[in-house]
Amino acid sequence: MDADSRLSRWIARTEIPLFVASLVFLGSYTVHVLARGLPDGWRAFWLAVIFATWALFVLDYVVRWRLGGHPLRPSYLRHHLLDTVVVALPLLRPLRMVRLYDAVQARLDRPLLSLYSRVIAYAGVSAVLLGFAGALAVYQLERDAPGSTIRTFGDSVWWACSTLSTVGFGDVTPVTAGGRTIASFMMFGGLALLGAVTGAFSSWLIQIFTRDDERPPAR
């Protein structure tokens, strides 16, 4: 219980700073990829910010691993799985905002959003984040590759939209091994996220109409 409460206190205190750090990481990576004409001093500065925030995430991961008293509980492992993924791929770190929402809600008495709105909001924000991070990473890998069709960041965002919606026009596509690997994860991740949005939207629509239909007694 002692370890648990120390872990809880650690998480409660670091939640907000680490969320800010994850936004700083995303922002500095964006600057690093998109601002190619920067003077060398600024490039080094942004690279330093990227590695410093990453170091923060690794530190947080190690501290929580040491403080975590019961690492074999299923719920702990599940949270740990997401944590491990976001330490390895810190661009996806803002996905942990689910915990931030829980932290905010814990101080209120009732949920801020209804059931379906929350599913749609989480999945929608995750899709936007996944698309933006994927477009950045693919753009960095593809822009100078021979035979590439993704020459500008606009191309990359357009490609990410057509990939995440599973439309897949194929007018611009990655050609490097790295770009295709990221693209494959985006295809399946996006499919899962959008399946959640679609399922929640469809359930909500049906629930709304069911409630409307049940109201009149004569049916």
Judged by the rule CB under 8 A, the positions of this chain that interact with its own copies are 109-111, 115, 118-119, 123, 154, 158, 161-163, 165-171, 173, 177, 180, 183-184, 187-188, 191-192, 194-203, 205-206, 209-210, 212-213, 216, 218-219
- Determine the distance from the C-alpha atom of residue 51 to the mean position of all C-alpha atoms in its chain, rounded to a whole number: 19
Judged by CB, which is closer to its own copies: 84, or 202? 202
| Of residues 41 and 216, the one with the C-beta less far from its own copies | 216
Q: Which is nearer to its own copies, 69 or 199 (CB)?
A: 199
Nearest distance from residue 170's CB to its own copies, in Å? Answer: 4
Judged by beta carbon, residue 7 or residue 123, the one nearer its own copies is 123
Do residues 180 and 159 lie in contact, with contact meaning Cβ atoms separated by under 8 Å? Answer: no
- What minimum distance in Å lies between the beta carbon of 102 and its own copies? 9
Q: 110 — phi, psi (to 5°)?
A: -135, 160
Cα–Cα distance for residue pair 13/179, rounded to 1 Å: 37
What whole-number distance in Å separates Cα of residue 148 and Cα of residue 144?
A: 7
Question: How far, in Å, CA of 83 to CA of 210, rounded?
Answer: 39
Question: What minimum distance in Å lies between the beta carbon of 125 and its own copies?
Answer: 13
> In the complex, what is the shortest distance from the CB of residue 196 to its own copies, in angstroms, rounded to a whole number?
5
Q: Least separation, in Å, of the C-beta of 159 and its own copies?
A: 9
Contact 104, 94 (CB under 8 A): no
Which lies closer to its own copies via its Cβ, residue 56 or residue 182?
182
Q: What is the four-CA torsion angle of 142, 146, 150, 153, rounded to 10 degrees? A: 60
From 62, 124, 63, select the one nearest 95 (Cα to Cα): 124
Which amino acid does the sequence have at 71?
Answer: P
Structure tokens at 14: 């670091």
Q: Report the C-alpha gap between 131 and 125 in whole angstroms.
A: 10
Would you say 69 or 178 has its CB closer to its own copies? 178
What is the closest distance, in whole angstroms, from the C-beta atom of residue 92 to its own copies in the complex?
17
